[in-house]
Amino acid sequence: MAKLEWVRRVSSVRTILVTGGSSGIGRATAIRFARDGDTVVIADLNESGGKAVIEEIESDGGKAIFGKVDVADDESVEDLIDFVERESGAPAVLVNCAGLLQNPSRLVDLDMAEHDRIWAVNYRGTYLCCRAFAPAMVKAGGGSIINISSTSAVRVFPLLAYSPAKAAIDQLTAILAADLGPDGVRVNAVLPGYVRSEQMQLRIDAGLRDASKMKAQSALGRMVEPGEIADGIHFLCSDAARAITGTVMPIDAGYLASSSYQLHAGWTSED
Ligand SMILES: NC(=O)c1ccc[n+]([C@@H]2O[C@H](COP(=O)([O-])OP(=O)(O)OC[C@H]3O[C@@H](n4cnc5c(N)ncnc54)[C@H](O)[C@@H]3O)[C@@H](O)[C@H]2O)c1
């Protein structure tokens, strides 16, 4: 426990820890905070991707460092605590963006090793990182945690591990908001719709997802860009959101509002 007994550095420059920051939504989030002058720690399994994001941030005059982590691995997360403490001081913001997407499957077809890995990374990894970094935020007198949910947490998709894990993240977010609120730590989640991240683009290119269908199901008739999720995360961590905790905020181009409406009406946003 001694390693958690940090005192946050007295500085106006905040440390922002973004897991999964090497790609997609996490990458956009790292860039968004760095643009404001915050020091960003990109914590990811993908070292080359993370270093490329750091170069991008540095070439724009920002500050970022890379810490390799597997959020599903207790020891690796323990090492990350040491690394962040040593390199930048305790984070004021933790964004739990590391995650795996899943392809649709039927009950008996989903390999249990894949099932378990998705839970280990998406749910347990989120839990583990909250558990690892919240005590330092409490010690510092406050902070902000953002978890990443999904429309599949509240709609029914053939994603037998991914969807239940995201629904569990929504519940965890509310529980942690209640748990940590008295110590000044706010905990919220964003609920992205169809986001054109690298992973999503790979699936579109491989013919596993249909971009035109995803666009048509949303009220705004388009997909969401990673930077738009980053803007929502940035808002929830800002002083403007100081009374907001325990929420799950959709950023989905109106997918939740529109998809069942369209099914019932028999037309789409593109008709
Ligand atoms: N793209 C979408 O449409 C969409 C929609 C809803 C929710 N999400 C969620 O957003 C988050 C980011 O997804 P994305 O689309 O940007 O995907 P992405 O693959 O572009 O980014 C995920 C990042 O997490 C990292 N990662 C994976 N496993 C890890 C581990 N065990 N330890 C550390 N890092 C690990 C990857 O290396 C990658 O850099 C995920 O939680 C995903 O479920 C995405």
Please report, for the domain that includes residue 55, its CATH number: 3.40.50.720
pLDDT of the residue at 12 = 66
pLDDT of the residue at 13 = 81
The verdict on residue 186 lying in a domain is yes
What ranges make up the beta strands (E) of 87-142?
93-96
Q: Give the position, in ligand 1's atom list, of the atom nearest the Cα of 22.
A: 39
pLDDT of the residue at 199 = 86
Burial 187-202 (b: 16+ CB within 10 A, else e): bbbbbbbbbbbeebee
The verdict on residue 143 lying in a domain is yes
Q: Is the dihedral of CA 199, 200, 204, 207 positive or negative?
A: positive
Three-state DSSP state, 90: coil
pLDDT of the residue at 26 = 98
Active site residue 261: no
The verdict on residue 93 lying in a domain is yes
What is the distance between the terminal CA atoms of the chain, rounded to a whole angstrom? 59
Bridge partner list, 64: 40
The verdict on residue 5 lying in a domain is no
The verdict on residue 57 lying in a domain is yes
Q: Tell me how far the alpha carbon of residue 221 lies from the centroid of ligand 1, in angstroms.
A: 23
- From first to last of the 271 residues of the chain, give the pLDDT tens digit: 344 444 333 346 899 999 999 999 999 999 999 999 999 999 999 999 999 999 999 999 999 999 999 999 999 999 999 999 999 999 999 999 999 999 999 999 999 999 999 999 999 999 999 999 999 999 999 999 999 999 999 999 999 999 999 999 999 999 999 999 999 999 999 999 999 998 899 999 999 889 999 999 999 999 999 999 999 999 999 999 999 999 999 999 999 999 999 989 887 777 7
Count other C-beta atoms under 10 Å from residue 243's C-beta.
Answer: 6
Greatest CA separation for the chain: 61
For ligand 1, atom 19, the nearest C-alpha belongs to 199
pLDDT of the residue at 175 = 98
Nearest to 199 by CA among 24, 18, 52: 24
Q: Tell me how far the alpha carbon of residue 10 lies from the centroid of ligand 1, in angstroms.
A: 32
Q: Which domain holds residue 144?
A: 11-197+225-253
Q: Give the position, in ligand 1's atom list, of the atom nearest the Cα of 121.
A: 31
Q: Tell me how far the alpha carbon of residue 24 lies from the centroid of ligand 1, in angstroms.
A: 7
Q: CB of 38 within 8 A of CB of 48? A: no
CB neighbours of 43 closer than 8 A, spacing ≥ 6?
17, 18, 19, 20, 21, 66, 67, 68, 69, 71, 80, 84, 98
User: What is the rounded CA–CA span in Å between residue 150 and residue 130?
Assistant: 18
* Count of structural domains within the chain: 1
The verdict on residue 134 lying in a domain is yes
The verdict on residue 36 lying in a domain is yes
Q: Which of 123, 162, 194, 255 is catalytic?
A: 162
User: What is the rounded CA–CA span in Å between residue 118 and residue 164?
Assistant: 10
Count other C-beta atoms under 10 Å from residue 175's C-beta.
Answer: 13
Count other C-beta atoms under 10 Å from residue 263's C-beta.
Answer: 11
pLDDT of the residue at 110 = 97
Rg over CA atoms, the chain: 18
